[in-house]
Amino acid sequence: MEADETSTVAGDSEKQTQMLASIEAGLAADSAQNSGLLVQMTGITKRFGSFTANDSINLGVERGQIHALLGENGAGKSTLMKILNGLLRPDEGEIVWNGEAVQFESPQDAAKLGISMVFQHFSLFENMSVLDNIAVALPGSIRQNGFNLGRLSKRIEEVGEAYGLALSPHRPVYSLSAGERQRIEIIRALLRDPKLLVLDEPTSVLTPQEADALFVTLEQLAQKGCGLLYISHKLDEVQRLCSKATILRGGKLVGECDPRKEDVRSLAAMMVGSHVPEVRSPALHKIGDVRLEVEALTLPAPDPHAKSLNHIMLSVHGGEVLGIAGIAGNGQSELFAALSGETLAPQARTILIDTMPVGQLDIESRRALGAAFIPEQRLGHGAVPGMALSDNLVLSRHGTDRLDRYGMVNFRRARRLSDDVISKFDVRISGKNPVASSLSGGNLQKFVVGREILARPGVLVVDQPTWGVDAGAAVAIRQALINLAAQGAAVLVISQDLDELFSISDRMAVLHEGSLSAALPTGQVTRETIGLMMAGSEVDDAA
């Protein structure tokens, strides 16, 4: 049994087919047939204090099945998957694997059976390379026979290429965008020869192209008999990929269905329990003066792995949403950092907020001028994982909300303001003032977005505003962005979700290889032109 697990890395096989063959060999060793029940969870209950995150849930996955797990933010999806992965222990219920009751003391136990998981929030070592991050997570059995880092590094490149998940093995993780980190997690899971692969919102930060490539891979895995559990808020993906769906709401099982036989609206309604609205275009409002302007911003890459920014020109008027499309890793984080002041521009006049030169000012001074920023990564950048929500409110608003009195923080007021964010943005929490890391992904995103929007900024720069939020909440966030603009703010949205950009932006530009195209009115561009520009082709006359 151990021997055939090693074949993936040890073998000198070339590409995808060989790798899948070895996965098949692993499966064949376990059972001859490619169908039948692989795992059954019965009556799973998990409580956090008095809060019940999973309430006697049943879930079965068959070999070769791609099974969707759906539900709004905080429904309990990640919790259930962490139980299946041995990361959390259920209070009640049992797990039957291949007909045998099993109990997981740790993720290693689950890994031994062939359960592999791609987490919603990455678990990577920032200061280590891609290669090291993958190597440490491989089971010991793979690491023994004929293993060496050189081969693994080649293997990562091959697999990445074959699956359309390009990665250079020697880059340090801290220099990677969320999309690239997601690729590491996926490749890491694939290299472990899974018999059951759990993917918790794998596509929320992938580009459409990457997602497409991933779907092909997943379908092939399923054909070979691997069971897949797939969590996503993108229902069209689910319909395309999955033959069965289990739906959770408020920690309870509320339904099962074949997503291909439902339409998107009815699926969404099942998840939310009511009808999901659409983004309403704002009331007619005036487009005002330019409030955010970038004048020929050129920034060398801070380290060899980052992107340099070349001669970026843009302007956002009050009352307007400017969308910046582009595939992650084309300079988005660098542009965000330059706009926020986390990296300073070479000259003050390169960046203007309400005609004030701010290129040399730090983030707090820019906030003092009425700007607000929402970074892409919510855990660790936009919020401190181990701190309570009210303490996290202080993070970005200590200078502007009278929270700082003679150097003392008014934590009472912070608590009030944070409760305000929680109620206005419908952040679902367990407990009164929980730590950020205990929130479900989508709910923390709502909190971080709400925190900045309720600061009533005149200029808002946001990177991936709806990463991992459910359909209902995504609409709410987009609506809030539009409304903010309608009140006269300049809103700049960096996103790789074209649907999102088309539904909220007044003008759109594309960031490619650190260069920004001219911005065009949304009505004058098509998905095709934007798609081509994102892929790097010169489109001079897009209209």
Partner 1 sequence: MRLELVPRASVSPIARALSPVIAIVLAGLMAGLVIALMGRSPMAAFDIYIREPLGDSWALQEMGIKMIPLTLIATGLVYCFRANLWNIGAEGQYTMGAIVGAILPLATQGMELGRWLLVIALIMGAIGGAVYALIPSYLRVRLGVSEILSSLMLVYIAQLFLDYLVRGPWRDPKGFNFPQSVMFDTGSTLPILFEEGRLHAGLILAVVVVLASTVVLGWSLFGYAIKVIGSAPKAAGFSGFSASRISLMVFAISGGLAGLAGIVEVSGQIGQLKPSISAGYGFTAITVAFLGRLHPLGVVFGAFVVSLTAIGGENAQIMLKLPLDLTTCFQGFLLLCVLAADALTSSSIRVVRTPKKEA
Ligand X SMILES: Nc1ncnc2c1ncn2[C@@H]1O[C@H](COP(=O)(O)OP(=O)(O)OP(=O)(O)O)[C@@H](O)[C@H]1O
Q: Give the one entry of Mg ion, partner 1, ligand X, none that residue 71 binds, where binding means its C-beta sits below a cut-off of 5 to 8 angstroms depending on kind.
A: ligand X
- Binding to Mg ion (CB under 5 A) within 429-448 occurs at 440-441
Tell the smallest beta-carbon distance from residue 374 to partner 1 (Å): 10
Say whether residue 318 binds Mg ion (CB under 5 A): no
Whichever of 333 and 445 has its CB closer to Mg ion, that residue is: 445
* 203: contact with ligand X by CB under 6 A: no
> By C-beta, is 412 or 432 nearer to ligand X?
432
The amino acid that residue 334 corresponds to is: E
Quick one: residue 523, left, alpha or beta (phi over 0 = left, psi -120 to 50 = alpha)?
alpha
- Binding residues among 89-128 for Mg ion as defined by CB under 5 A: 120
CB of 446 to Mg ion, least distance (A): 13
Q: Which of 120, 177, 400, 464 binds ligand X (CB under 6 A)?
A: 120
Measure CA of the first residue to CA of the last residue in the chain; give whole Å.
Answer: 60
Q: Report whether 8 contacts 193 (CB < 8 A).
A: yes
Shortest distance (Å) from residue 443 CB to Mg ion = 9
What does the block give as tokens for 123? Answer: 């678990």
Residue (55 or 219) nearer to ligand X, CB: 55
Cβ count within 10 A of residue 430: 18
* DSSP labels, 250-285: TTEEEEEE-GGGS-HHHHHHHHHSS----PPPPPP-
The CA-based angle 19-20-26, given to 5 degrees, is 95
Whether residue 291 contacts residue 457, with contact meaning beta carbons closer than 8 Å, is answered with no
Q: Which two tokens stand for residue 282?
A: 């704002």
Shortest Cβ distance from residue 324 to ligand X (Å)? 25
Q: Residue 83 or 482: which CB sits closer to ligand X? A: 83
> Which does residue 342 bind out of Mg ion, partner 1, ligand X, none, counting CB within 5 to 8 angstroms by kind?
partner 1
Position 105 contacts partner 1 (CB under 8 A): yes
Q: Which of 128, 213, 272, 384 binds partner 1 (CB under 8 A)?
A: 384
Shortest Å distance, C-beta 256 to ligand X = 17
Asked if 202 touches ligand X (CB under 6 A), the answer is no
Q: Is the CB of 51 or the CB of 125 nearer to ligand X?
A: 51
Per CB under 8 A, contacts with partner 1 among 48-77 are 48-49
CB of 253 to Mg ion, least distance (A): 16
CA dist 220 to 27, 35, 223, 433, 504, Å? 14, 14, 5, 44, 36
User: Bridge partners of 129?
Assistant: 172
Select the binding partner of residue 430 from Mg ion, partner 1, ligand X, none (C-beta < 5 to 8 A, by kind): ligand X
The Cα 106–Cα 84 span in angstroms is 10
Residue 340 touches which of ligand X, Mg ion, partner 1, none (Cβ within 5-8 Å per kind): partner 1
| Binding pattern for the stretch 322-341 against partner 1, x by CB under 8 A and - elsewhere | ------------------x-
Q: Which residue, 81 or 165, is less far from ligand X as judged by CB?
A: 81
Q: How far apart are CA 526 and CA 524, in angstroms?
A: 7
Coil, helix or strand for 322?
strand
Contact between 330 and ligand X (CB under 6 A)? Answer: no
404 binds, among partner 1, Mg ion, ligand X, none (CB under 5 to 8 A by kind): partner 1
Q: Is residue 301 within 8 Å of 308, Cβ to Cβ?
A: yes
DSSP at 120:
S
Q: Rounded to an integer, what distance in angstroms lies between the CA atom of residue 48 and that of residue 52?
A: 6
Choice from 9, 20, 38, 53 touching ligand X (CB under 6 A): 53
Tokens representing 534 are 């994102």
Q: How far is CA 119 from CA 60, 63, 124, 200, in A?
A: 20, 21, 11, 5
Q: How far is the CB of 77 from partner 1 (least distance, A)?
A: 17
- CA 492, CA 505: separation in Å to the nearest integer? 9
Specify the DSSP element, H or E, that contains 228.
strand 227-231
Beta-bridged to residue 253, according to DSSP, are: 248
The nearer residue to partner 1, 280 or 432, going by C-beta atoms, is: 432
Query: Is residue 382 a contact point for partner 1 (CB under 8 A)?
Result: yes
Residues 424-453 touching ligand X, rule: CB under 6 A, are: 428-430, 434, 438-443
392 contributes a contact to ligand X by CB under 6 A: no
| Residue 429, contacted partner among ligand X, Mg ion, partner 1, none, CB below 5-8 A by kind | ligand X
Among residue numbers 455 through 474, which ones bind ligand X (CB under 6 A)? Answer: 468, 470
The total of other beta-carbon atoms located within 10 Å of residue 170's CB is 12
Distance CA 515, CA 97 (A): 51
- The span of 85-93, 158-166, 272-280, 306-314 binding partner 1 (CB under 8 A) equals 85-93
Binding piece for partner 1, criterion CB under 8 A, among 191-199, 229-237, 408-416, 503-511? 408-416
CA distances from 284 to 25, 186, 482, 508, 521 (A): 62, 45, 12, 20, 17
Q: Cα–Cα–Cα angle for 132, 135, 141, nearest 5°?
A: 160
Which of the stretches 31-39, 71-79, 307-315, 523-531 binds Mg ion when contact is defined by CB under 5 A?
71-79
Distance from C-alpha of 237 to C-alpha of 239, rounded to nearest angstrom? 5
Cβ atoms of 369 and 341 within 8 Å: the answer is no
* Binding residues vs partner 1 (CB under 8 A): 2, 48-49, 87-89, 105-106, 108, 144-145, 340, 342, 362-364, 367, 373, 375, 377, 380-387, 391, 394-396, 398-399, 404, 407-409, 411
* Binding residues vs ligand X (CB under 6 A): 48, 51, 53, 71, 73-79, 120, 428-430, 434, 438-443, 468, 470
